[in-house]
Structure 1
Amino acid sequence: MEVLQRSPESGRQEQSVLPCDGHTPATPLSCPNHQGKTMEYYCGPCETAMCVECTEGEHREHCTVPLKDVLEQHKASLRSQLDSIRSRIPQLTSAIDLVGDISRQLSERKNAAVNEICSTFEELERALQQRKNSLLQDLESISVSKQKVLQAQLSSLRQGLDNMESSVRFTEQALGHGSETEVLLVRKQMSERLNELASRDFPLHPQQNPQLEFRVETDGLRRSLQNLGALLTTSAVAYASVATGEGLRQALVGHQTSVTVTTKDKDGELVRTGNAILQAQLTGPDGGAHDGEVTDNKNGTYEVLYTPRHEGEHQLSLRLYGQPLRGSPYRVRAIKPGDVPASPEDVKRRVKSPSGGHIRQKAVRRPSSMYSTNKKKENPIEDEMILRVGSRGRDKGEFSNLQGISTTSNNRIVVADSNNQCIQVFSNEGQFKLRFGVRGRSPGQLQRPTGVAVDMNGDIIVADYDNRWVSIFSPEGKFKNKVGVGRLMGPKGVAVDRNGHLIVVDNKSCCIFIFQSNGKLVGRFGGRNPGDKQQTGTLDGPHFLAVNNKNEIIVTDFHNHSVKVRVHCSSHCGCHCLHDFIASFLSLQVYSAEGEFLFKFGSHGEGNGQFNAPTGVAVDSNGNIIVADWGNSRIQVFDSSGSFLSYINTMADPLYGPQGLALTSDGHVVVADSGNHCFKVYRLRDGSRCDECFWTVSGRAMDGLYPACSLLLASMDTGADCAGQFLNVTSWKGNRVSAGYRVSQHALLISSAHWLGPCSSVSRMGDHTLGDS
């Protein structure tokens, strides 16, 4: 055994190693300050051993005790620390093995990629060489063939020329120098020869052409070569990535269930690219396991689909690059569809699609929770609605199928009242200000106004579905111009981009039109392909659109249950700067200004980030995308990359088929609640400190809990037992406020910028208690 000994030099912390057999050494340690004195005492404040003279000198006022009295105490303390360190050695050893294994795999895959790159390009080089040789052979063959024809023609012409020249010389010589007798003797022969040469048909025109050139289109090939091959990798790690969704705790037997996985890097930052290796496996109560289906959204998020086959407890294992995600495996309770408790308000009825098409879908009045009951809750949920304006009717401030909605910079809300054939204007506080519009099909009249927007001059832009044009009115409601006559078939939504262009959704032709303010068409994209929902560049029932601060066009595709994002060039150079619009079924897609694919998200359903016929859309100052989900009667909030953030809590006065959506000048969300014949204004949480939220955890107050901490706990209404789980909460300033508190049955779900209450119902809560420790 060895022990550490301090250096005798005063003030230095150097230590030396002395042998020790575990017993008191035969030779006592000498005091470095007093020769011949042994160290028999210990000074607690100075944490050092000393002799008796030291206790009477510089340590006279300190608390000293015999060295042997503290020896066992310090041994016990060291043993405790030693045990703590020893317990971590296997963890570090395992981590070293794991990281080393990952490093070796990375090296192996790098070498494999190097070999594949080299072999691929060597094969391409061989193919190029073969093509080169083939072209040279063909070139030689064609040249020889043409030359053969031309040389034969030249030989014939030269022979004819020689014959003519010799005949001419002979005849001239006979005529000039021959006697009369000689001329008479050769006349007949000469005449026949000359006649024969005169009548001979020579090939005077070239029997071949000289064209023989090499032509190759290298621009496309060079572009292809520049993009040939791709290195697929991400910085995603399993321990930082998260899974969300109702499918992490409950599913229906025989029904496909969805879970969303968001990948993050070691610093907790979102990974924006796809291609990560994610595996999902569901193990049933009988021990049988089957793999889940993983869909790569190409934006760093993945949709995992699985279908429980039996009732009971299951385990869902999610592994990223072979490592379990945080919280994996998850305990999932599969129940029969008939066992799902129904809410009295959970009634769906068929209504006509707001698109005016032949497809009928359902818009539902959403209850406060899928699993809510009538029992009283101790903590009432505060709704985020600020204002409700309107009722069914034809007077001022009344509506009949209001659809599009927009706002102005001078605190006005503009509403397209479709069935009343008019536009109504209100203040941000809901006070009626103006109504204009006369029913008809002449310029300046309205037949079926659907979309509305406000341009940079304050003019009101109105999309008229039945008149098939877009009308422009002054802020006072005076008609100024109409756009799109003869081009539009059924305009629905309209927006104004940062260049002042009018962007129109033509619902009937499934196209997006872009006009200058004077009506000149800049470009169009989209189109219908009902036979193939996955066909790129197509839409199916587009409704509304918005433009963000990057001039990206965001379109809601009603019958594809998707939102699509399209980039419009920021310059004024016209339609040549409109890159191919790419759309796909059940997804949101983003493209760069060069038309390159960036990401997509979304699917059909009722879960987080899913849609059932989206309609209105808006973008806030942070680039967050707010979407009105018509069929699910809710409003969802996504970040600029398409990751689901939250719902806007509308439970106190549920929506019914929301359509147009916009942001007011003071940052609130205003939505056209078509089924309830009114518009509503809601708070939009921006993810910053919320002074109205004051949470209490085990008696400790946390003022300003940071909304983005995303803590997933169990629900109190499903009967799930969450006792024994641990809660870690990050305060607004980023300090760890509480750690290791056990969660009682009164557990909550906190998600992103909005508070989600019991039963995963959507709300922002006030004063709440998470439970006792």
Structure 2
Amino acid sequence: MAETTSPAITMTCEVCSEYYTDPLMLPCLHSFCKKCLIKAKEKQGSADISLKCPTCDTSVNLPDGKIEGLTQNLWLAQQVKEASVKDKMSKKESTLCEQCSEDTAVTFCCECWLFLCDFCKTAHKRIKSTSQHKLVNIGKESVHQLSTELPNMKQQAVFCIQHSEKLTYYCKDCNKLICQICLNDKHKSHNYNDYLDEGKTARKALKESVASCDGVISPVTEAIANGEKMLEQIATCKEEVRQEIKETFEELKAALDKRCNDLLMETEEIASANRNSVKKQLDRFHKLVKQVSHGRHLASSVSERTDPCEVLSVEKLITNQLEECIEEYKKLPLEINENEAIVTRFDTTVMSNEIHKYGSVFEVDPDLYSIDSGLAIPLATVKKERKFKVALPAGIGKAASYLKTSFIKSDGSKEEGRVVIVNDTNTAIVSCTPQSIGGYELSVTIRGQHIKGSPYQLSVKASRDYTTLTNERSFDLGNRTDSVAVHTNGEVFANSKDGFVQVFSEDGTAVRRIGSKGSGNGQFDYPWGLLLVGDRLYVSDNNFNRVQYFSATTGQYISQFGSEGNGNGQFYTPRGISTDGKSNILVAEYNNKRVQVFKEDGTFVQVIQCDGKATDVAVDNEGKIHVTISNQNHVQVFSPDGKSQLDAYNHNFNSPQGIAIDDEGCIFVSSNNGYLHVLSPDRKHVIKSIPFAKKMV
């Protein structure tokens, strides 16, 4: 943990390790003995007009290329004198009298800054000019007594190095103490003042500088602590990754060992089968040779006999056996049927290449992570879980385990957020349950870095019972209004067929108008859809086939996109507008029967084709896109990417014109017959239908 205390100021020079003598201060605020800096300059070379600080290596430009031009640290010199006196007082060794340099000192004069022997002490008291000086006797209590007396010790005069005159003026232009001669010679035309007055001003400035730094150390110390914590996390992460790499390659080695054993076993099985086959053939060969040899031997022996009876008694058996052996020989293949070779197939080059490419280690890029859905509606309900789906970069193992959340209320108090890893490795669920009504900030970080778009602003409201919903108040607009948007500051924006957007305060007071009738920038023919994204107000023009956007608070026109047509980025009667919470703007088109998706700057993204005339669009917390289809009297539901229709629902809607979805998933659909229908989140039933007047907001 970083230290928060001020560093101790030492009385010894870092170069020579002795008490400072003629200390000079560099712009980096490090001080050194004058003689030490001169030696350092000599080592660098006389041609160099700069000097490197021996402590921090900062390069310092020398005034006139000389050490003597540096700032004298008179404060430190005084501190060193006081420390030196204390040091002498505390040592057991005797100190010589600084008046006569003969006898041992027995006292110290706090005004003359002299150690005095007994004789000189007596003389000091006799002299009228020194008789009232404060003397401190050297003894057991001297150091403690001296420490209390030192603040009252008289400061010795400081003299000009060049003229040996007392320094009594301060030149503001040159930022240096000067004597009377210096003043007359070089500084008469400069801005100067008495050094005592300037000293008071300087003390005040230093105190103000200290006060101005009060807010620096704490946050920087916290940043240091965070950095050191990050170093610990890096070390921990390194060990985790090292362990993961080792375990992974141990698994690979185990798999290779298993494959090796399997191949060795297969080799043994093949060799054993070949051996058995060859042995079987050899057994037949051995048997035939044995039979032929035995038959030949009998035949030869019997044929030598002269007794016919002997010969005839066995001749037939012998000749039959030999004939059978000859027939067996003729049938028996003399070539071994089996091949002694066992062939292997190992493409080590391919395997080596795959091993070289296997796995990767890299830094985390927070921009690869983003809220995939759940932010289309920046609202939450008090004491109800609110979920956000986070898209994770593909192919990164344990990606979700590095995610952290912080859920902070506007007053600075923290509440817990959770990260849930789902089965899909490219998705994580961040959830939080706000405990009170008001503004919240949800931060999602990956190893201390905010992911894309984080932190996110969330407004928490009380849960509502829509079964008791009534028309609480109306804002009179004077003509037909088709769209309403509410700013986070409570202001209500409503379009008027007369060619403007009316802004009301929360109590219904008309406060300002945005736009006017006309075809120029910032003007409308028939403004229809309204959308607020931060402080930006988007307005679709049903007749001019374009979308313009303004500053919501000032009404200042910013830019526009779209033109008449049916191509990508063109409109034919654009109506309702919505956002998906991921910097995309969705615009419903009546006559083109579609929804177009744009970036917030109007860059075209894609088309979602509908089955009828689209009048409005809304995105729920799962990212699903709901589109009201006027001529089909239903609402189409598309997947978050807009590529497939998931559902369509109808609860006796009469030409549905507008749609909105709250954070709890309740759906609000306005019909052309003057009713607002409130549907349950599952879309299975209508909670309530409320009549409303079209000219009223």
TM-score range, shorter chain: 0.3 to 0.5
In terms of fraction of residues, the more helix-rich structure is: 2
In terms of fraction of residues, the more strand-rich structure is: 1
Q: Higher RCO, 1 or 2 (CA under 8 Å, sep at least 6)? A: 1
TM-score, with length taken from structure 2: 0.43
TM-score, with length taken from structure 1: 0.40
Choose 1 or 2 for highest CA Rg: 2
